[in-house]
Amino acid sequence: MDPAGGCPHADNARLLARGAVASVVLPGEVPGMAVLGHEALKEFLAHPDVAKDARHFTALTGGRIPDGWPLRTFATVQGMTTADDADHRRLRTLVSSAFTPRRVEALRPRIESLAADLLDRLEAAAAAGDGTVDLRARFAMPLPMGVICELLGMDERHQDRLHHLSNQIVATDIGPAEAMAANRELVELLSAVAAGRAEQPGDDLTSALITARDGGGDRLGPHELIGTLLLVIIAGHETTLNLVTNAVRALCTHRDQLDLVTTGRAAWADVVEETLRWDSPVSYFPFRYPTRDLTLDGTVIPKGTPVLAGYSAAGRDTSAHGPDADRFDVTRPSRTSAARHLSLGHGPHYCLGAPLARMEATIALEQLFRRFPELDVIVPDGELVRHASFVGNSVRTLPVRLRPDAGSAGG
Q: What is the pLDDT of residue 265?
A: 95
- Read off φ and ψ for residue 296, nearest 5 degrees: -130, 120
The more confident residue out of 353 and 22 is 22
What are the strands, taking DSSP E only, across 315-411?
376-377, 399-401
With contact defined as beta carbons under 8 Å apart, do 104 and 355 qualify?
yes
Integer CA distances (angstroms), 66 to 55, 73, 74, in order: 15, 11, 14
HSE at residue 354, side-chain half, CA atoms within 13 A, is: 13
Q: Which of 50, 49, 20 is nearest to 34 (CA)?
A: 20
**Is the per-residue pLDDT at 310 higher than 50?**
yes
Report residue 156's pLDDT band, with 50, 70 and 90 as the boundaries. confident
Q: What is the pLDDT of residue 150?
A: 85
Q: What is the pLDDT of residue 223?
A: 84
Q: What is the pLDDT of residue 306?
A: 97
Average pLDDT, integer, range 349-353: 90
DSSP state string for 2-39: -TT----HHHHHHHHTT-SEEEEEEGGGEEEEEE-SHH
Q: What is the pLDDT of residue 245?
A: 98
Between CA 345 and CA 365 the distance in angstroms is 23
Q: What is the pLDDT of residue 216?
A: 64
Report residue 181's pLDDT band, with 50, 70 and 90 as the boundaries. confident
Residue 23, C-beta contacts closer than 8 angstroms, at least 6 positions apart: 31, 32, 33
Average pLDDT, integer, range 184-199: 88
Q: What is the pLDDT of residue 29?
A: 92
Of the listed ranges 16-20, 87-91, 240-244, 374-378, the least confidently predicted one is: 87-91
CA angle, residues 81, 215, 227, in degrees to nearest 5: 25
- The DSSP secondary-structure symbol of 215 reads T
Of the listed ranges 24-28, 158-162, 280-284, the least confidently predicted one is: 158-162
Report residue 328's pLDDT band, with 50, 70 and 90 as the boundaries. very high
Q: pLDDT by residue (tens digit) across 87-144?
A: 898 888 878 866 677 878 888 999 999 999 999 999 999 999 999 999 999 999 999 9
Q: Give the mean pLDDT of the chain.
A: 89
Neighbours of 411 (CB within 10 A): 17
With contact defined as beta carbons under 8 Å apart, do 312 and 298 qualify?
no
**Is the per-residue pLDDT at 225 higher than 90?**
no
Between CA 205 and CA 236 the distance in angstroms is 12
Q: What is the pLDDT of residue 232?
A: 84
Q: What is the pLDDT of residue 98?
A: 65
Between CA 41 and CA 344 the distance in angstroms is 12
Q: What is the pLDDT of residue 206?
A: 87
Of the listed ranges 226-235, 266-275, 330-339, the least confidently predicted one is: 330-339
Q: What is the pLDDT of residue 135?
A: 98
